Amino acid sequence: MSTISERLLDRVRMELGDLPQPFDYQFIGDGVRDHFNVEHRPFDESSITMLGYGDPIDPAAEGITLDGLTGTVIFEYPPESGSP
C-alpha cells in the first residue's frame, strides 16, 4: 500500500507528464569493468528487471548494486568477458 506522499508525488508527476518510461539497456562484460552507466537515468531500482543469459536474476543475490540516481550498475566482481 502506498503512502499519501507517494500518491501525491505520482499525481504531480502525472500532471507534469513525467511518467515512467520503459527502457532496455544491455552491456557485455569484459572481465575488468565492474561499473556500468545506464543511459536512462534516474530510474527506480525496484522497477528494474535484470537478466543474465536471458534469465531473470536477483541483483542483491548476485552481488549487484543498482544506483538509480546516478544510473549506475555496480558488480561485486567484474562480469566475465563476453557475458551479457
Query: What are 21-38's pLDDT values in tens digits?
Result: 777 888 888 999 999 998
pLDDT at 53: 84
Q: pTM of whole model > 0.85? A: no
CB 36 within 8 A of CB 83: no
CB 63 within 8 A of CB 76: yes
CB 71 within 8 A of CB 40: yes
Asked if the bond preceding 42 is cis, omega within 30° of 0, the reply is yes
